[in-house]
Chain A
């Protein structure tokens, strides 16, 4: 009997069908990756395995058997025994997935006592044991800490510990590393890998990131619109995809080992320059430098990538470059002259497609802002120019009077680009412009930026946490850590022969599409941590 048997599963929320006739099996000890873009229904499947839709009004059809329990027909008690006891789930956001008010150890003990008859003391001891097992240092003491006293990676470890507490047969991980930095992601994935080797539990990994799946599972199931597109062993699905959609999906995934197709349009002329920039936040004892002594030069027509993990100061640097933040010391020079405040010549594209457009104003009005602010009064000319820009970024001129909520994330990002272009800038700083988008949309937006750069001779500063995307678009790269630049040079040099240990660590942590490469990187990481 298989560990998981899903037959013709359908899940509907009102008129909307989230999962539409999905079937798959997972054998004991095997690992399956459910891969898909947002809206593909992959997380819904994960919830359905534990019967989490019961009582929510969702309509579930088909059959789901997990570890011998018929999830559809099971009584509430049977279902509760399944949840956490035989199949345990690890969620995406480790901060919100734990109760902020109780000690982590107590929460694990609570779950343990639901499934195992044990005294409070024994349950606590078990909690410490599993926390230690997932690599929390000084577990006995840390068990008494509450979630907010843990870092993101530690929290995710704690959640995995909770999952391990009752020794389940199946671990369901729903985007377990999406909220984490790339180095932490690698640690968590390695941990899952080791645990699976040692305990022999089955793994169902739900992720949007093909790379994350590639290194961690044996089989992959690609989902789209609630249906299975392709299902098979990792090597064959990723190596020789049979379906067009899988091919497109894989084609859109940025590769960390492929350099930019350079077109030689880069000149030596420096447009924007950062000179010994430093920015402090806070007062008194809490004062710290988010950006510390950073100097950079951006040339006409080139793309400079700035890559770093959260807290590296990359966003602060980006905001100083466009003049939204004043540096504490140092200067930003545009064409050799020191800048203070914002300037039409240096514009920005923001990360979050939701908050970067005022929901109360039509997109046309938002795009027209730089024109009007410049003193343009002729309505006809303003509308004409905005229509032109809309078409240039791949939208329709008629979209002028539409409002942001009528657009998808990728379309909004295009609107943001059009607004930046309206100011006729020479430099655009893009702050994580694609991190909120699905890979296929990501690829389209990246392509658009490249086209615009060639056409208009723009200099781009591309701030991102994703090493692969940065490699894909950048001529030169700066790697940031704790407010400083640790490595700075031509993209190929930085990626091919990194000098700084931190850069090496980052590159080793990037998930690879090829399972063999993934295994090699895992070994490399072990060596790096051992060293």
Chain B
């Protein structure tokens, strides 16, 4: 049966490597997932709100920092005046207890902070991760040892704790959102570096890279033309999972009062005092919490969709053992065996590759587990 399933595809289509038609195929596969499409729509809307925050608040006629003491009932401990927490034509979503700042404006500007910090942090992580991962994979044994050790140490650092501590000692004059993005980016690049290293090692052994060497091309050109494009899929996939993760971390840090500080609004920070007011002004709790939930959920679903579109094996899990895997394993075994001239090592290498495939689904963790497996296999 396996044979027939294989035959049903175009001869020898290696679906794990997005081909040229990769971009088009990717869109087609992404579009086929309804949940991912909805998520993409929500994300687009959020980005739009974040970008247009000044415009939207201008239409509303408010800004995120002005206090409105007149809208606060100080006799009742600072509860907003009026029903539903002060919702009305002037304040679309009401005002903040105690300060009377406009909630809609803070929420919209908060989106800027959340998305901006998360994206910036992701860029930093991806940049460092790719540079370190590629260098480790292509460098000599000592470079690899050094960088892999460094990566292990970075992975071992608890992100929240380190950023908490780091944020404590940096002078408050430093622009806070930039600082938060930098701190997250500088601490949490370990897993992406591991994934990139493992992928580069796999790609490096592929015959077409050898063929390019035989053509007479130099190392740079080979890295650029043959290796880097092969990294795009795993890097995009993993980045898509990093963004929601970074949003949560930023929100958590701000919630603890060490991330983005007032008067700059941030969703996490808005929740710091929200539990006290949940009866008098429920939207003060529900809006930022809901915004966080929807954003992280949408980004996670989109990330899943991107992965499925880039790695159809994930999508075809339910199918009973196709011969493709066996072929892939045999190939991997053959190429590993070719370099080590040790059939045993070759096969194990291949099977650890399979472990990777499964766990690439999950997150970071598994990538690292696999990287360590590959490391062992290499050693």
Contacts and interface: CB of A to CB of B under 8 A. Distances in A.
A and B touch in the complex (CB under 8 A): yes
A316 B6 CA distance: 31
A281 B5 CA distance: 39
A254 B109 CA distance: 74
Contacts of B208: 355-358, 366
A65 to B, nearest CB: 19
Contacts of A132: none
| Majority secondary structure, B binding face | helix
A100 interface: yes
A107 interface: no
Instruction: Tell me which of B21, B338, B339, B348 has the highest count of chain A C-beta atoms within 10 A of its own C-beta.
Output: B338
Interface string A20-44: 0000000000000000001111111
B22 interface: yes
Given A44-B4, A324-B210, A412 B12 contact: yes
A415 B318 CA distance: 35
Interface string A427-446: 00001000000000000000
Interface stretch (B49-57, B173-181, B325-333): B325-333
A409 B11 contact: yes
Interface string A125-162: 00000000000000000000000100010000000000
Nearest to B205: A355
Interface in A278-305: 279, 281-282, 286, 288, 290-291
Contact of A56 (B319, B326, B341): B319
A403 B214 contact: no
A282 B21 CA distance: 40
B335 A43 contact: no
A409 B12 contact: yes
Nearest to A95: B347
Given A315-B338, A358-B226, A350 B207 contact: yes
B320 interface: yes
Contact of A42 (B3, B206, B341): B3
B340 A290 contact: yes
A43 B3 CA distance: 7
B4 A11 contact: yes
A319 to B, nearest CB: 7
A13 B214 contact: no
Nearest to A282: B340
Interface in A244-297: 279, 281-282, 286, 288, 290-291
A367 B94 CA distance: 67
Given A38-B3, A359-B20, A408-B11, A369 B341 contact: no
B183 interface: no
Interface residues of A, number: 80
A289 to B, nearest CB: 9
B214 A41 contact: no
Contact of B342 (A38, A148, A311, A348): A311
Contact of B341 (A179, A311, A408): A311
Contacts of B22: 360
A148 B207 CA distance: 27
A431 B2 CA distance: 27
A351 interface: yes
A44 B213 contact: no
Interface in A404-427: 404-409, 412, 416, 419-420, 423
Contacts of B18: 359-360
> What size tier do the contact residues of chain B reach?
35 or more
Nearest to A39: B7
A351 to B, nearest CB: 7
Interface in A332-383: 342, 344, 347-348, 350-362, 366, 369-370, 372-374
A266 B338 CA distance: 30
Contact of B210 (A286, A290, A350, A359): A350
Contacts of A323: 214
B316 interface: no
Nearest to B327: A354
B341 A41 contact: no
Nearest to B347: A95
Given A16-B7, A179-B330, A423-B216, A362 B20 contact: yes
Contacts of A191: none
Contacts of B326: 92-93, 96
A281 B340 contact: yes
Contacts of B214: 322-324, 342, 347-348, 370, 420, 423
Nearest to A42: B3
Interface in B284-336: 319-320, 325-327, 329-331, 334-335
Interface string B98-117: 00000000000000000000
A100 B351 contact: yes
Interface string B39-66: 0000000000000000000000000000
A359 B14 contact: yes
A423 B5 contact: no
A353 B214 CA distance: 17
A18 B211 contact: no
B1 A352 contact: no
Contacts of A2: none
A324 B339 CA distance: 10
Nearest to A93: B326
B13 interface: yes
B10 interface: yes
Given A96-B329, A100-B351, A405 B340 contact: no
A310 interface: yes
Instruction: Tell me which of A310, A316, A353 has the highest count of chain B C-beta atoms within 10 A of its own C-beta.
Output: A310
A370 B341 contact: no
A355 B216 contact: no
Contacts of A486: none
Given A311-B341, A352-B207, A423-B216, A403 B19 contact: yes
A407 B20 CA distance: 14
Nearest to A92: B326
Contacts of A38: 3, 6-7
B308 to A, nearest CB: 19
Contacts of A524: none
B211 to A, nearest CB: 6
Contacts of A196: none
Contacts of B210: 319, 324, 348, 350
Contacts of A16: 4, 7-8
Contact of A354 (B12, B213, B215, B230): B12
Contacts of B230: 360
B337 interface: yes
B157 interface: no
A319 B338 contact: yes
Contacts of B339: 281, 316
B276 interface: no
B212 interface: yes
B229 interface: yes
Closest 4 CB pairs of A and B: A290-B341, A18-B4, A373-B216, A369-B215
Interface of A: 11, 13-14, 16, 18-19, 38-44, 47-48, 52-53, 56, 58, 92-93, 95-96, 100, 148, 152, 179, 279, 281-282, 286, 288, 290-291, 310-311, 313, 315-316, 319, 322-324, 342, 344, 347-348, 350-362, 366, 369-370, 372-374, 403-409, 412, 416, 419-420, 423, 431, 483
8 contacts: A19-B4, A38-B3, A92-B326, A100-B351, A311-B343, A315-B338, A355-B335, A359-B19
